[in-house]
Amino acid sequence: MAEAASVTTTLYYYSIFTSPPDRSRTSSSSSVSVRRRNPSSLSWVLRCSTNTSFPWGCDTDSLENASALQKWLSKSGLPPQKMGIERVQVGERGLVALKNIRKGEKLLFVPPSLVISADSEWSCTEVGKVLKRNSVPDWPLLATYLISEASLMESSRWSSYISALPRQPYSLLYWTRSELDKYLVASQIRERAIERINDVAGTYNDLRLRIFSKYPHLFPLEVRLPAMDGNVALVPWADMLNHSCEVETFLDYDKSSQGVFYTTDKPYQPGEQVFISYGKKSNGELLLSYGFVPKEGTNPSDSVELSLSLNKSDKCYFEKSEALRKHGLSVSQQFPLQITGWPMELMAYAYLAVSPPDMRRNFEEMAAAASTRTTSTKDMRYPEVEEQALQFILDSCETSISKYTKFLQGIESLDLDVTSPKQINRISFLKQLAVDLCTSERRILFRTQYGKRPGPGSGRFTDGAEILRRSLRDMRNGELRALKILNGFRKLFK
Ligand SMILES: C[S@@+](CC[C@H](N)C(=O)[O-])C[C@H]1O[C@@H](n2cnc3c(N)ncnc32)[C@H](O)[C@@H]1O
């Protein structure tokens, strides 16, 4: 049942793009025209800035709202579907095949009249006009649209949709600052969550100062709402699809019918849950935006950020930091590590960090190669500092691993002040999410130590065949052999 509550509901937003999706540092996904964008950012601001008393969303184990949604969608022009909303193994509620679905089959066909976009008609026309006159970007515009419709309750044409929106209380944007600090102390995703929260709060404040405060009759406190940039739309029905790391299909936008559809990349049997991809995201990013962590080892796009820093006592600290600054980098920099390898930029940063003063002529080139902004020769090698650079990366992994281990060993004793049983349940769930995330991130760090290291010409993520620890050992053995030969010669000459 929809219930009146302060808004802690998540809204799902799909960006409609005709251009390729963003290529995150860790992915190289193919071109799609519809994708999700920062959905939970909005929900966080909803939580922190609104206190609505209208029906909003439901728990994801509620099928009642889902079937009302399904009925309303069919009545409103959604064509007959080969899928239905059911209770599922992954994601509680989801879409399940009702008939055989072939690989490559097109599904959904959500017509434009059922897509909420920047061009949708506003029930409160004046609110829409004010926002458009003030050039509010699509993202906050849509968010305000939804809130404004929600405030109309049953009389909004979207009321069935709004009351079936899933609550998503586990996205990092819903975690309190002390939960983030306590449970994600070892992971860089904590920083990303704080950045995202600040970002959204900034957008909200901007709108509040620029628009909401000037039209208090149109934007009473309860319905003020911020959001993010972007060309976005809400797609009821499609947002019942859960994510799988094993599928590579995204929602698509059909230019001619202006509807939204989805092409399967595998067949489904009746009763099987149907998935889409929320994008090639790491486990941390999935937790940040959607509040779940895939099972360990199932996400090929998983990555962890490794933090590297210049040594403050380095004689060339200033020159190196200047070279980094010129290329948009700082003295402490994060690089994504994947299970399959690590970026050339990381190696370039490591070369720079360990280079002695007599290599200062190379600092500039190293800093350029460490930056993703510059298209420089990334495959450079500096044999004279290779060993130190590898050791530097190994040490940084080691430092990070020990943080994770300390956290994982002490998690049980990490308690926040909780009183109600509901809070206790939530905390134990958050702890489990933190454990799952940290275990998967630590696993990548372990694999980096024993996994692959850069090979020339191998692109953004390295797939060379050498092994970090082994290559260091081989290097050292080589040095030892050379030393023995040298000593042999010395003896001979004596
Ligand atoms: C777009 S909704 C999908 C429909 C949702 N399951 C519902 O009941 O309304 C996204 C949410 O579904 C859940 N979800 C999606 N994919 C998941 C997965 N692979 N594992 C666990 N939860 C998932 C998460 O709570 C996520 O925030």
Q: In what order do the strands lie in the sheet with 34-36?
A: 34-36, 14-16, 232-234, 116-117
- The better pLDDT of the pair 383, 467 is held by 383
Closest by CA position to 169, among listed 61, 95, 65: 61
In this prediction, residue 348 has a pLDDT band, given cuts at 50, 70 and 90, of: very high
Percent of the chain with pLDDT strictly greater than 90: 39
Tell me if 37 CB under 6 Å of ligand 1: no
Q: Say how many Å lie between the CA of residue 417 and the centre of ligand 1.
A: 28
* pLDDT at res. 465: 33
Tell me if 275 CB under 6 Å of ligand 1: no
Tell me if 168 CB under 6 Å of ligand 1: yes
Lowest mean pLDDT of 4-8, 108-112, 227-231, 369-373, name the range: 4-8
Closest atom, ligand 1, to C-alpha of 60: 8
Query: Helix 344-354 to helix 363-370 angle, to the nearest 10 degrees?
Result: 150
- pLDDT of 460 above 60: no
Q: pLDDT for 279-324, tens place per residue?
A: 899 999 999 988 999 998 899 999 999 999 999 999 999 999 999 9
CATH 3.90.1420 residue ranges of the chain are 303-470
Q: What is the CATH number of domain 303-470?
A: 3.90.1420
What is the enclosing helix (H) or strand (E) of 35? strand 34-36
Tell me if 36 CB under 6 Å of ligand 1: no
Q: In what order do the strands lie in the sheet with 251-254?
A: 106-110, 259-263, 251-254
The residue-averaged pLDDT of 413-430 equals 76
* pLDDT at res. 36: 36
Q: Say how many Å lie between the CA of residue 190 and the centre of ligand 1.
A: 21
As a whole number of angstroms, the distance between CA 408 and CA 395 comes to 20
The residue-averaged pLDDT of 153-181 equals 85
Q: Say how many Å lie between the CA of residue 242 and the centre of ligand 1.
A: 5
Q: Say how many Å lie between the CA of residue 326 and the centre of ligand 1.
A: 42
Return the residue whose CA atom lies nearest to atom 17 of ligand 1: 91
- pLDDT of 16 above 80: no
Closest atom, ligand 1, to C-alpha of 275: 16
The residue-averaged pLDDT of 65-89 equals 92
- Greatest alpha-carbon pair distance for the chain in Å reads 101
In this prediction, residue 220 has a pLDDT band, given cuts at 50, 70 and 90, of: low
Predicted-complex ipTM score: 0.99
- pLDDT of 47 above 60: no
Closest atom, ligand 1, to C-alpha of 291: 27
Tell me if 284 CB under 6 Å of ligand 1: no
* pLDDT at res. 118: 85
Closest atom, ligand 1, to C-alpha of 36: 1
Provide the mean pLDDT of the chain: 78
* pLDDT at res. 9: 26
Q: Say how many Å lie between the CA of residue 168 and the centre of ligand 1.
A: 8
Closest atom, ligand 1, to C-alpha of 164: 9
The residue-averaged pLDDT of 192-199 equals 89
* pLDDT at res. 39: 36
The residue-averaged pLDDT of 115-123 equals 88
Q: Say how many Å lie between the CA of residue 91 and the centre of ligand 1.
A: 4
Best mutation site among 290, 299, 429, 440 for ligand 1 pocket (most ligand atoms within 8 Å of CB): 290
Tell me if 291 CB under 6 Å of ligand 1: yes
Q: Say how many Å lie between the CA of residue 411 and the centre of ligand 1.
A: 26
Lowest mean pLDDT of 151-160, 389-398, 414-423, name the range: 414-423
* pLDDT at res. 74: 94
As a whole number of angstroms, the distance between CA 92 and CA 449 comes to 37
Q: Which CATH superfamily is domain 14-290 in?
A: set domain protein methyltransferase, domain 1 (3.90.1410.10)
Return the residue whose CA atom lies nearest to atom 1 of ligand 1: 239
Return the residue whose CA atom lies nearest to atom 10 of ligand 1: 242
As a whole number of angstroms, the distance between CA 274 and CA 246 comes to 11
Residue 459, C-beta contacts closer than 8 angstroms, at least 6 positions apart:
none
Closest atom, ligand 1, to C-alpha of 12: 1
Query: Contact at 8 Å (CB) between 287 and 293?
Result: yes
Residue 299, C-beta contacts closer than 8 angstroms, at least 6 positions apart:
245, 282, 283, 286, 440
* pLDDT at res. 486: 60
Tell me if 289 CB under 6 Å of ligand 1: no
Closest by CA position to 471, among listed 389, 369, 353: 389
- pLDDT of 24 above 70: no
CATH 3.90.1410.10 residue ranges of the chain are 14-290
Tell me if 39 CB under 6 Å of ligand 1: no
- pLDDT of 377 above 70: no
In this prediction, residue 8 has a pLDDT band, given cuts at 50, 70 and 90, of: very low
* Residues across the chain: 494
Tell me if 278 CB under 6 Å of ligand 1: no
Closest by CA position to 96, among listed 216, 241, 235: 241
Closest atom, ligand 1, to C-alpha of 61: 8
Tell me if 292 CB under 6 Å of ligand 1: yes
In this prediction, residue 352 has a pLDDT band, given cuts at 50, 70 and 90, of: very high
* pLDDT at res. 363: 95
Tell me if 90 CB under 6 Å of ligand 1: yes
Tell me if 57 CB under 6 Å of ligand 1: no
* pLDDT at res. 106: 93
Beta-bridge partners for 84? 96
Return the residue whose CA atom lies nearest to atom 15 of ligand 1: 242
